[in-house]
Amino acid sequence: MTRSENIPPHRWQHRSVAILVLAWAVLQIGGLFTPGLLDDVDSVYIQIAREMLQRHDYVTPMIDGIRFFDKPPLMYWMAAGSMHLFGIHDWAARLPLALGVLALLLSVYAFGIRLFATISPPNAPDRAALYAALAMATSIGPYLYTRFYIPDILIALWMTLSIHLFLIALDRINKLRSPLVPMLGFAAVLALDVLTKGLIGIVFPVLFVLLYLAVTGQLNLLLKLRIPAATLLFAVIAAPWHILAALRNPAIPMPIGQGLPAKAGWAWFYLYNEHIARFLGKRIPHDYGQVPIPLFWALLVLWLVPWAAFLPAALRNAFRDLRAPRQSALRFDSDIAAGYDTTSALEASSRTHEAALSLLLWPAIILGFFTLSSRQEYYHLPALPALALLVGALLAAADCRFTSSDPTAPNLHDRARRQALRGSLYFLVPLGALLFLICGYLAVTAHTPPAGLDLNTALSSNPALYNLSLGHIFDLTGTAMGFFRGPLLAVSPCMLLLGPIQHLIRRRGKTFAANLLVAASMTGVLLAAHEGLVRFYPILGSKDLALSINAERKPGDLILIDGELTSGSTLLFYTGQPVILVNGHVNGPWFGSFWPDAPHVFANDADLHKLWQGQGRVFLLTYHPLERAADLSAFGAVHNLAHSGGKTVLTNRE
């Protein structure tokens, strides 16, 4: 009899998959239809996809008819393909990202089953994989950063798949089998990664491969990884768009005094400015925030809340396995003494070391890279699957009853159970109790907003923080809490369940039920957060104003934004019309505007005055209605068409 006879097959469990799909459907599908698109990157990405559909040009991204070279095309292609199938709707554009989240959850689940396949008892690998995927589904970070259309959660998917495929390739080499198929899969994922967010799609996975092989003393295996064939497939997938984009957008003369080279095109802006210069913090224009390094590292823990409660112990266990990989073989000594085949014991030890090394090296690469580079607060999202898998392993060890003849197995179970209880007691209990009290107090004591009071009136203003993706959160005040009474009332009992109540259940040994309660409670919290986003939406988006314009607009009318494009970029999508930017020749479309065929969408105050006193009707979205009305009244009548979220649409005709 061999130990391998007791190792469970790498099979997905129907119940676990059903739980993951249910969590995904409730959180992701439920949020497709509300709120509207957000101004800035959300609507910019999706409007570019829409213009690709309209122009039938899937090589050169454009917005408002102007070249936009900031990002690679896969996110645009996904949204364009979905809108081609389902129509020009915001929910259709969001659908591919939601499906990407489902793919991420299932890929984390599959990877967890492989990494922890030698854990006893037979249900432990499934539990570890399930908990890891649930952590990705219900943690704060992955949910918040799928409320708008950015690629970082897809980078987490590509990282998970690429590392999984690489480890499968190594297994095949060690078993004297060909690694060609998994390496071709690795190359295809790298190509998709590059088409999603650029050169880091190569840097992170390749750096992982090189460091993993170096640490394990297997650099010689590079010669067996079928690199020429994998490189060829990578080039076939990734190279065509890059070549076509360079050929269709060659270098042209640039204006003097802009900080630009004498000649520049797609290659300079995308390959150098968007990658190398951004890494060095010298990108032109510098239109993004920079998170301090200590805060950047702290946010990694915040984005994994509430499952971060178990992260310190999970990290300690991983470092223990990494420092002493051979010690894990001791748990099989009794089996060996009883006549079991030692091969499986060594395989289990090797797999334990492989899991620890992979799940520590993976986030270390991402955190290290962005510690040295320019960074925003969500750039480390691709590291979260590794940390979730570490947490999943700890919770599975605490959850599953060991039935092996291995005398050390109960000790491992008892240690993990104590660690999980401590994480619950010292993190989840105080967090849940505190937020239960705070949210309940605010919900009960917050004054009901007077009739006609706009949320924007109750907020503070912190424009210095608006370069951060969640900068508007700091605008909230005590007065504004009355607008969020419903979400606060929902969060309060959920935090009670997530903290004290789940801990009582965990103490009674019902760990599976306790972990599911954490996930279910957090689902309620995230749904409440989504409802809060819906109520906050007028501050972040301009859909209501666009619909007001649509109700009045006639052919030939002009739509203007007072400021840069991101001040009201949702107008483009919801009106389906180009816009003119008044004093907005900055940031996004700035570089593309230097092409001779770029439409004249940039205006100054003098241009606005001429349009206002002309024969045509003009709609102007502005954040400063009183100042603009005083300025424009000398050139014609000024009428208030609509007001929402601190933005007003003025028009020169009733």
pLDDT digits (tens, 9 = 90+) for 37-61: 999 889 999 999 999 999 999 999 9
pLDDT digits (tens, 9 = 90+) for 515-550: 999 999 999 999 999 999 999 899 999 999 999 999
If you count DSSP H runs as helices and E runs as strands, how many of each does the chain have, helices first?
27, 10
Which band of pLDDT confidence, cut at 50, 70 and 90, is reported for residue 341?
A: very low
Helix (H, G, I), strand (E, B) or coil at 438: helix
pLDDT score, position 412: 78
**Which range is least confidently modeled, 136-145, 250-259, 335-344?**
335-344
Which band of pLDDT confidence, cut at 50, 70 and 90, is reported for residue 290?
A: confident
pLDDT score, position 321: 86
Pick the closest to residue 357 from 214, 221, 212, 169 (CA basis): 212
Mean pLDDT of 267-276: 92
pLDDT of residue 479 exceeding 80: no
Distance CA 426, CA 428 (A): 6
**Which range is least confidently modeled, 58-62, 496-500, 583-587?**
583-587
pLDDT score, position 410: 57
Mean pLDDT of 59-79: 96
Distance CA 633, CA 456 (A): 25
DSSP label at residue 633 = G
pLDDT of residue 273 exceeding 50: yes
pTM, entire model: 0.91
Pick the closest to residue 162 from 192, 127, 133 (CA basis): 192
pLDDT of residue 481 exceeding 90: no
For residue 88, give the amino acid letter. Answer: I
pLDDT of residue 462 exceeding 70: no
Distance CA 410, CA 549 (A): 68
For residue 348, give the amino acid letter. Answer: A
CA-CA-CA-CA dihedral for 330, 335, 338, 339, to nearest 10: -100
**Tokens 């040009």 — which residue?**
57
